[in-house]
Amino acid sequence: HAKAHGRNTFRFYTREMNTQVADRLQLENRLRRALEQDELFLLFQPQYDIHSQALIGCEVLLRWQDPVEGLIMPGRFIPIAEDSGLIVPLGRWVMREACLQMARWQAQGLQLPKIAVNVSARQLARLDFTDEVRDALQESGLPGHCLEIEVTESTLMEDADLASRQLAILKAMGVRLSVDDFGTGYSSLAYLKRFAPDTIKIDRSFVCDLPGDSEDAAIVSAIIHLARALGMSTLAEGVETVEQRDFLRQLGCGGLQGYLLGKPQDASAIARQLGELVS
């Protein structure tokens, strides 16, 4: 009986796995087409100084409008893009579009200090990545300091020597660096010293249960103290409540990003907001 059952189970899994592989492949092919057919677009989520409440930047977040399925979120397609290598042309497109949009805002006389673009390990590992960034800056006429790249700890650790060389080139161009989802990846504190990011982004998972969770409070407080001692700024991700904001301010966090302050929105909504600040 067990044997028969086992066999059935095996066949069931095989079919299931085949379906999963086929789904992935199908999504990969559709994503490739999506890039050619302009189905991708960018949203921008504002980041604020916790004290002055000034807009300090916007994070660029990719979206896919599929004609059949509707809106597809990056959690579903970025991992597939990373595995297939599609993230390279896709990321190049994001970088270029983001810089062009930033330049458009500046041409409209709107003041936004920087845009932050997410960069995957496979992008950073390519030797021509720094050329792509340089091209995107040159084409848009944007100074390097208006661009920040967000990378995770794991991206930095994957090939630390290569990452180090790439980031040194970008730094020489004025491009800033922030470490995304800080505290959730595999890392050592030594790499913080080595990569000297401008900003540490405190992961949303440490923020969501503040102020009640005393362990999270201890972790966030330690990150803020460490960053300050190393001369880096901090920005908390996923801030959704007034209580979280007030607590983070009390702990000495420097920046805020989250639904409480602003959801990811399109370029014209950001422009309207900046326009109101100007007038």
Binding region for Mg ion (CB under 5 A):
118, 150, 180-181, 237
Encoded one letter per residue, x for contact with ligand C2E by CB under 6 A and - for no contact, window 125-144 reads: --------------------
196 binds, among ligand C2E, Mg ion, none (CB under 5 to 8 A by kind): none
| Angle value at C-alpha 160, between 175 and 76, nearest 5 degrees | 75
* Encoded tokens for 123: 């992008």
Smallest distance, Mg ion to C-beta of residue 180, A? 4
Q: Does 259 bind ligand C2E (CB under 6 A)?
A: yes
Instruction: From 12-20, 46-54, 71-79, 211-219, give the range in contact with ligand C2E by CB under 6 A.
Output: 71-79
Measured from the CB atom, is 130 or 257 closer to Mg ion? 257
- Binder among 64, 110, 181, 227 for ligand C2E (CB under 6 A): 181
Rounded to whole angstroms, how far apart are CA atoms 183 and 205? Answer: 9
Cβ distance to ligand C2E smaller for residue 79 or 141: 79
Q: Which of residues 36-55 bind ligand C2E (CB under 6 A)?
A: 45
Please say which residue, 13 or 260, places its beta carbon nearer to ligand C2E: 260
Is residue 91 part of the contact set for ligand C2E (CB under 6 A)? yes
- Cα dist. 27→19, 35, 87, 173, 224 in Å? 12, 12, 13, 36, 40
Q: Which of 8, 16, 29, 74 binds ligand C2E (CB under 6 A)?
A: 74
Q: Select the residue interacting with ligand C2E from 55, 61, 102, 248 (CB under 6 A).
A: 61
Under rule CB under 6 A, residue 147 binds ligand C2E: no
- Partner in contact with 137, chosen from Mg ion, ligand C2E, none, beta carbon below 5 to 8 Å by kind: none
Does 94 engage in binding with ligand C2E (CB under 6 A)? yes
Q: Is 238 in the site for ligand C2E (CB under 6 A)?
A: yes
CB closer to ligand C2E out of 34 and 62: 62
Q: What are phi and psi of 142, to 5 degrees?
A: -85, 135
Distance between CA atoms of residues 252 and 177, nearest Å = 21
Residue 57: name its binding partner from Mg ion, ligand C2E, none (Cβ under 5 to 8 Å by kind).
none
Q: Which chain residues interact with ligand C2E by CB under 6 A? A: 45, 60-62, 73-75, 78, 91, 94, 118-120, 150, 180-181, 204, 237-240, 257-259, 264
